[in-house]
């Protein structure tokens, strides 16, 4: 670890295998908290490369719970958080809309980061158990087409790393990579990120990690979600190529709203917002979900354009399919309540 720290301090980049080896050393508990902190700060100061991020992610996935089944065309739409917007749980709400459109969703999530309440808090408030074994999670995903993976549960070996990250009180690489570490074998991914300057790089990371199709986006107001406030910056991975795109809501027939219109509250309030959107309540929150779910449906390959993806998202809500996915997940979760590990 001393050699690694010296190289990072000298602004020397590591290969993917070298970074994975460094992370394996950290996981072995043969390093101190101070060394982990120095590692995080040195990497942040130097600036991360695609290979370095991929190496960290592979090491973290190796230490996560094992998911063995390969479910075709499964997608995650988890964002990094950290945008400070205090929005309602947009990606969690959108996940049910995407699943209602027929795309399997393995949604990675955690407790609050930038919202007043995180996806895990809202889902638990709705009566969804998040602590299933990998086998049960795969069963639920296969049966109903949507499952949620609670990050601290599926990554039991990173508690020490997360403690150091929290103690540092400054953003590091580890504030960004959560969505990359989903232990399910994903083919497609929609990833919202609060760093606009990282969209292209993270699309390249997803390419390195084997995603067939992906969209990395930073929304208007630097949200880690697509926003109706103005221009959204997208990096689109398709067929091994990454292209940039700027998308304004008016281009896809959606109105403009300030980000203040999509603020959320505590877990009870955000759960109510989620339910209302899935039940068809109109307004800024629904339209924001339509935009994000539409991009997700496009990412999942069910729509050739984002506009068509939004149309399919609208059908998912208005037909009741999205709400049915929520009800099915609640029921499946309760039926396995006794199986919790």
Q: Which of 19-28, 95-104, 125-134 has the lowest mean pLDDT?
A: 125-134
CATH level 2 (architecture), domain 1-63: Up-down Bundle (1.20)
Q: Please, which pLDDT band fits residue 67 given cuts at 50, 70 and 90?
A: confident
Is 91 annotated as contributing to ligand binding? yes
Is 107 annotated as contributing to ligand binding? yes
Q: Is 54 exposed, middle or buried (0-12, 13-18, 19+ CB in 10 A)?
A: buried
Is 79 annotated as contributing to ligand binding? yes
Q: Please, which pLDDT band fits residue 97 given cuts at 50, 70 and 90?
A: very high
Is 28 annotated as contributing to ligand binding? no
Is 82 annotated as contributing to ligand binding? yes
CA 161, CA 149: separation in Å to the nearest integer? 19
Q: Please, which pLDDT band fits residue 338 given cuts at 50, 70 and 90?
A: very low
Q: Are 224 and 79 in contact (CB under 8 A)?
A: yes
Is 335 annotated as contributing to ligand binding? no
CA 282, CA 276: separation in Å to the nearest integer? 9
CA 19, CA 13: separation in Å to the nearest integer? 9
225-235 per-position pLDDT tens digit: 999 999 999 99
Secondary structure class of 149 (helix, strand, coil): strand
Percent over 70 (pLDDT), the chain: 97
Q: At what angle do helices 90-100 and 321-335 cross, to 10 degrees?
A: 100
More confident residue, 156 or 35: 35
103-134 per-position pLDDT tens digit: 999 998 777 654 457 788 899 999 998 888 88
Is 325 annotated as contributing to ligand binding? no
pLDDT > 50? residue 340: no
HEC assignment per residue over 61-111 = HHCCCCCCCCCCCCEECCCCCCCCCCECCHHHHHHHHHHHCCCCEEEEECC
Q: Please, which pLDDT band fits residue 337 given cuts at 50, 70 and 90?
A: low
Is 111 annotated as contributing to ligand binding? yes
Q: How high does pLDDT run on average in the chain?
A: 93
pLDDT > 90? residue 214: yes
Q: Is 263 exposed, middle or buried (0-12, 13-18, 19+ CB in 10 A)?
A: middle
C-alpha angle 70/310/101, rounded to 5°?
35
- Fold of the domain spanning 75-331: Pyrimidine Nucleoside Phosphorylase; Chain A, domain 2 (3.40.1030)
Is 110 annotated as contributing to ligand binding? yes
Is 112 annotated as contributing to ligand binding? yes
| Closest to 103 (Cα-Cα) out of 295, 301, 288, 237 | 301
Is 108 annotated as contributing to ligand binding? yes
Tell how far CA 8 is from the center of its chain: 28
Q: Which of 96-105, 121-130, 206-215, 272-281 has the lowest mean pLDDT?
A: 121-130
Is 92 annotated as contributing to ligand binding? yes
Is 113 annotated as contributing to ligand binding? yes
pLDDT > 80? residue 341: no
Is 165 annotated as contributing to ligand binding? yes
Secondary structure class of 56 (helix, strand, coil): helix
Give the pLDDT score at 339.
46
pLDDT > 90? residue 335: no
| Closest to 173 (Cα-Cα) out of 204, 150, 198 | 198
Q: Where exactly does CATH 3.40.1030.10 map onto the chain? A: 75-331
Q: Where exactly does CATH 1.20.970.10 map onto the chain? A: 1-63
Give the pLDDT score at 113.
52
């Amino acid at each position: 670890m001393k050699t690694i720290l010296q190289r990072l301090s000298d602004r020397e980049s590591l290969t993917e295998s070298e970074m994975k080896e460094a992370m394996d050393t950290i996981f072995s508990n043969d390093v101190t908290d101070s060394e982990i902190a120095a590692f995080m700060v040195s990497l942040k100061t130097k600036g991360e490369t695609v290979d370095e991020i991929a190496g960290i992610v592979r090491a973290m996935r190796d230490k996560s719970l094992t998911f063995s089944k390969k479910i075709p065309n499964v997608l995650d739409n988890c964002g990094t958080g950290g945008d400070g917007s205090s929005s309602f749980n947009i990606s969690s709400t959108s996940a049910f809309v995407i699943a209602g459109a027929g795309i399997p969703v393995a949604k990675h999530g955690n407790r609050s980061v930038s919202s007043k309440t995180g996806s895990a808090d809202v889902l638990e408030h709705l009566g969804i158990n998040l602590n299933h074994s990998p086998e049960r999670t795969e069963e639920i995903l296969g049966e109903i087409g949507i499952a949620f993976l609670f990050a601290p549960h599926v990554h039991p070996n990173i508690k020490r790393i997360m403690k150091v990250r929290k103690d540092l009180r400054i953003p590091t690489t580890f504030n960004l990579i959560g969505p990359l570490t989903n232990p399910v074998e994903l083919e497609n991914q929609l990833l919202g990120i609060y760093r606009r300057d990282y969209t292209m790089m993270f699309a390249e990371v997803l390419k390195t990690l084997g995603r067939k199709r992906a969209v990395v986006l930073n929304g208007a107001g630097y949200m880690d979600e697509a926003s109706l406030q103005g221009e959204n910056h997208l990096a689109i991975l398709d067929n091994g190529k990454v292209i940039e795109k700027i998308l304004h809501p008016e281009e896809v027939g959606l109105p403009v709203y300030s980000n203040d219109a999509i603020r959320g509250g505590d877990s009870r309030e955000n759960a109510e917002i989620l339910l209302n959107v899935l039940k068809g309540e109109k307004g800024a929150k629904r339209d924001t979900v339509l935009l994000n779910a539409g991009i997700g449906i496009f990412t999942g390959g069910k729509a050739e354009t984002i506009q068509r993806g939004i149309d399919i998202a609208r059908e998912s809500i208005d037909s009741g399919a999205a709400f049915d996915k929520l009800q099915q997940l609640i029921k499946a979760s309760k039926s396995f309540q006794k199986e919790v590990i």
